[in-house]
Structure 1
């Protein structure tokens, strides 16, 4: 979710991600690069408009501020060159406080996905496949 402090204002701007720990989320780099002041919510299946973020009981109590982001050095977000940026469209976000995996949240209890930390998969030149979702012809619409 974007913050009202963000200089870029999108309509219905939402990105998905995968919790890899109580503090870290793997998501698309495009979700992290052109909007500042982000929030993350885990365990909720309802889209809440930004103006309601502090009145909706779930987002009010369970949102986390994104305090750190990381994307590949070669990543350049440029709408006009979709083939270039979408080829390495992956990033990591860190939130300011842990998500609680031990009790229910709003729609379901958040859980992290397992990561294989075997050093053989971390060596330079090792390929990885990351699958996600998006839209074939329309990306984000600017207000």
Structure 2
């Protein structure tokens, strides 16, 4: 006699973890869109600028790796930031394949406006620091688990 696996129970949409994360992402996008309007940046551009404000300069590959996207996504993003006058691109003398991205004066000056964006998000989230830390730890653990799972497929 063979065991026939039971059909998994149907899960309602509102009970799906992935849907809850998706809805949170959409809500974040709406808040960021409003908060970023005065800067003229999109959310991916803002993340790139945050990296550069923190690090000073990075290669396109390093930006891609830190953002978790491929260089095909990063390259047009950097091009738009360059056209906006916020960054410059330079090929390395020692390795012409590597393109380093540097902030311009205008790009550095934009950092001041980013504090208002961050405060807007803090206000919208409405969590105290222990809640933020716990949520961040949970989401990071979930991301790590899912990343490990997809590499096994």
TM-score band, normalised by the shorter chain?
Answer: under 0.3
Task: For CA contacts below 8 A with separation 6 or more, give which structure has more relative contact order.
Answer: 1
More helix by share: 2
The structure having more radius of gyration, on CA atoms, is: 2
TM-score normalised by L of structure 1: 0.22
TM-score normalised by L of structure 2: 0.21
